[in-house]
Structures are given as C-alpha cells and as structure tokens.
Amino acid sequence: MILMPDTPILTTTDELLTLAEELAGQAAIAVDLEADSMHHYREQVCLLQVSTTARTVLIDPLAVRDLSPLKPVLADPAVRKYFHAADYDIRCLHRDFAIEVRGLFDTMIACQFLGEEKVGLADVLQTYFDVSLDKRFQRADWSKRPLSGEMIRYAAEDTRHLHRLGEWLEGRLAAKGRLDWVAEEFALLEGVRHNENQGPLYLRFKGAGMLKPRQLAVLDALLQFRDAEAQRRDCPAFKVLGNSALLEIARTAPTSLRALVGLAGMPARLVERYGSRLLKVIEAAMELPDAQLPQFPRSERSERNPEAEARLNLLKKWRTAKAGELGMDPGILINNAALEELSRRPPATARALAESALKNWQKDVLGDDIIAVLFAPQ
C-alpha cells in the first residue's frame, strides 16, 4: 500500500480483500475510474477511486490485476453505487475485469432529469457546493507510475463529494416525483457493454457514407494502415493521422508526395514520415477490381409519408412545450428516434402504446399526451 495524505493506494490482493469486506458493510459507495485512452493503442483501466462516507481509497489495477474481490459488492443492489456519467465506467469495468454494477445512482443523469443546464461534475459541484475541481489531469496518462501527489488528489476529489451530491439530488428528484424515472434509466445503464466486434473500421468513420465505392476502398486501406501503425507505436489512432486528413486523401487519391503536402491535416512532417507508404496504400486500393470494392451499407429509403411527417412535426411541437413545462431538455424527455417511430406507427390505444419501445416512465408520464397529439382533429 502506498500512503498519501488521507488517500491510500491499494496495491496488493490482501489490501483489496480487506477493502471489499469494508465496502460490503456500507449503505452506499462512490466509484470512478481513470483510463489511458488518450495515450495507448489499447486503453485499460489504470486507477479506481472508491469513497465511503468516511474515507476515499484508490486501487491500482496495474499492481493488483485481479479485482474479483470487488465483484460481489459492486453487483449487490443493496449497496448503492454513486457514479457521475457512468456509461463509460460500466463498459470499462466489465471489459477489463468482468465486473457488473448493480444499485447504480448516476448523478449526471439525475442532473439531466432535474433540468440542470450544465451537468458536468465540476460545474455542478461549483454551482451548488462551492467546490472547485482541478481539471488539469483529465487527459493525463494514468498508466505512468509513480502517480504524482497532484494526480492522486485529483482522482480522490472525483468521488469524495458524490455521496453528498447524490443524496441532495435524490431529495430534489423525490420532490418532483421523478425517482421512478431515473431508477429505470439507471437499470438500463447497468447493462451497457463494450462492443468489440464492430465490423470494418470505415463503418465507424464519420463521412464514410458519403464516399463512392472506389473512395471507400481507399479509406478502408488508409484506416487499416493507420490502425496497424497505431498498434506498432502503442498510441491512439488519431495520433498517427487525423480523420480530416484521411477523408481528404480518400476523396482525392493523390499520386505524389507534393499532392499530399497540399492536403488539409497533412503537414510536411507527416508527409515525410508516412508519405511514401501512404502512396503505396492508395495505389493498391485504386487497383482493386470493381467486384472487390466495399459498399457502405444503407438502409432502404422509405417512401415519403406526408401523414407521418405531419405527425412528427406535431409531436416535436408538443415535446418542446412539455419539456418546457417539466423543465427538462427535450432530448432527455424523449428522443427523436422514439418520436419518428411513433409518427410512422402511431399507437391508437393505450394498450398499443404499452407495447411500444418507449420506456415505462415515458408511457406513464407522456402516454396520454402522445395519443392525444397523434389523434387530435386536424
């Protein structure tokens, strides 16, 4: 165990076992993590922060690789888990350690359902508790050891205030009758997972769908080159070549180093470093037979439905008014995808609405309004 003022860092299995026993007796714990996604090809969880109402402890998973002693308490719904913006954390905990979280209370979601304009932890703590969080280490390389005293203090502050914040937010939600709303959101969030098998890299590349097949072939080859280089250098792909540069290269398929230099996002130093290899990648993609060119998957374009469009406009107007009445962001109240589905396949009865993909709290709170809007006389 490494000792810092008020914040021990656990580095052994025995220490972790002792902590797990302590946490199992708590009514609630606050949890956060730090990863190294800005600095390495394969990100990993590099630090866990856990706070009880009495103290904050840091866990070094680079020193103690097996975090299974924490699994029972984190999966126990009887022990509340305070997180702020838990989506990423829950995905990482399951991916790296097969840890599941139950009993979640996400303070960011709570803020959203209370209509807070700014929902970042630093903003909320500053506004309501006069607590200032240091943001200097948000993009730090948390895989480096030893951690500086400033980094340790930064990490500890991320969970130290969550108990107080969560209890305060719960009281406000209860006063508005929205505890059931967020409880459903928390339960859904507990089940999110990383999807490692996402198909070709271009499927996740913004702008790829606008390219012609030959251009898409160039982009596909460029992305594979960048990924291999990032893996070789052990760095994030964006630190090899930026997306804007790759997209422009795919569009124009330059055939010379001079043509590369003139492209946005391709300064001379990158052309000098990668130019010759990029030209070979481009040339190989340009020589692919037409039958081997990739095709960006497209859903069939549905025929225009003026009645559905009219219903969608009415639903959006209603949503704006309802969100204003409830003091919530319209997209949090009900998103565009749900409105589009309702406009295409309008439920004529409460029973039909109950069978829709809406969340239960949305059906209860918004259901009557939705049916009224969809079937109001025009």
101 and 74 Cβ atoms separated by less than 8 Å: yes
Give CA 53 to chain center in angstroms. 27
The model's pLDDT over 172-222, given as tens digits with 9 standing for 90+, comes to 999 999 999 999 999 999 999 998 777 899 999 999 999 999 999 999 999
| 15/48 Cα distance (integer angstroms) | 14
- 9-191: which CATH topology? Nucleotidyltransferase; domain 5 (3.30.420)
CB atoms within 10 A of CB 139: 10
In this structure, which topology does domain 306-375 adopt according to CATH? DNA polymerase; domain 1 (1.10.150)
Going across the sheet that includes 80-83, the strands are 2-4, 7-10, 56-59, 45-51, 28-35, 80-83, 104-106
The better pLDDT of the pair 302, 90 is held by 90
Same-fold call for 201-292 versus 306-375: yes
pLDDT tops 60 at residue 161: yes
The H-assigned helical ranges of 327-349 are: 330-333, 336-344
| pLDDT exceeds cutoff 50 at 117 | yes
Q: Encode pLDDT of 285-319 as tens digits.
A: 999 999 999 999 987 666 788 999 999 999 999 99
Q: What are the boundaries of each domain within the chain?
A: 9-191, 201-292, 306-375
Q: How far is CA 36 from CA 33, 159, 300, 330, 370, in A?
A: 10, 19, 40, 34, 44
Q: Where are the alpha helices (DSSP H) in 234-347?
A: 243-252, 257-261, 268-286, 306-326, 330-333, 336-344
3-state SS, 66-121, equals: CCHHHHHHHCCCCCEEEECCHHHHHHHHHHHHCCCCCCEEEHHHHHHHCCCCCCCH
- Max CA distance (Å), the chain: 71
Taking alpha carbons only, the member of 101, 113, 19, 116 closest to residue 59 is 19
Round to whole Å and give the CA distance between 281 and 159.
Answer: 47
**Residue 301 has what pLDDT?**
67
At residue 190, the pLDDT reads 98
Q: Tell me the average pLDDT across 132-159.
A: 94
Query: Residue 345 is which amino acid?
Result: R
Q: pTM of the entire structure?
A: 0.91
CATH architecture of structural domain 201-292: Orthogonal Bundle (1.10)
